[in-house]
């Protein structure tokens, strides 16, 4: 929390949302619970990371260790995966899928 609020200057409410999206979103994606919402949270965090931190470093990750920081290549991959999950959902073996089967 201190890093987001003090070093990056993000308001406390947004910092809490970022922390919740990363923590609860990852658990949601692993278990398949609220998959679309979890994927939206992860995509939002990755989009924010691109524009707030990684955009000045270029596209590619720092594979050789010669760049000043990491690029946004990985973040676009995570956004792409999140978009697919937002469209398709978690699938039949996810908790969302099991809830849908039981409600029918």
Q: What is the domain range of residue 34?
A: 2-103
Whether 19 has a pLDDT exceeding 90, the answer reads yes
End-to-end CA distance of the chain: 42
Whether 7 has a pLDDT exceeding 80, the answer reads yes
CB 54 within 8 A of CB 72: yes
User: What pLDDT shows up at residue 58?
Assistant: 85
> pLDDT tens digits, residue range 27-56?
999 999 999 999 999 999 999 999 998 998
Tell me how many domains the chain contains: 1
User: What pLDDT shows up at residue 62?
Assistant: 77
């Amino acid at each position: 929390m201190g890093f987001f609020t003090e070093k990056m200057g993000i308001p406390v409410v947004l910092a809490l949302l970022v922390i919740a999206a990363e923590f609860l979103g990852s658990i949601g994606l692993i278990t398949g619970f609220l998959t679309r919402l979890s994927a939206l949270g992860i995509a939002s965090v990755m989009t924010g990371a691109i524009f707030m931190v990684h955009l000045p470093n270029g596209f590619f990750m720092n594979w050789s260790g010669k760049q000043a920081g990491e690029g946004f290549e990985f973040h676009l991959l995570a956004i792409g995966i999140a978009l697919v999950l937002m469209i398709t959902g978690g699938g039949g073996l996810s908790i969302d899928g099991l809830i849908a089967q039981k409600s029918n």
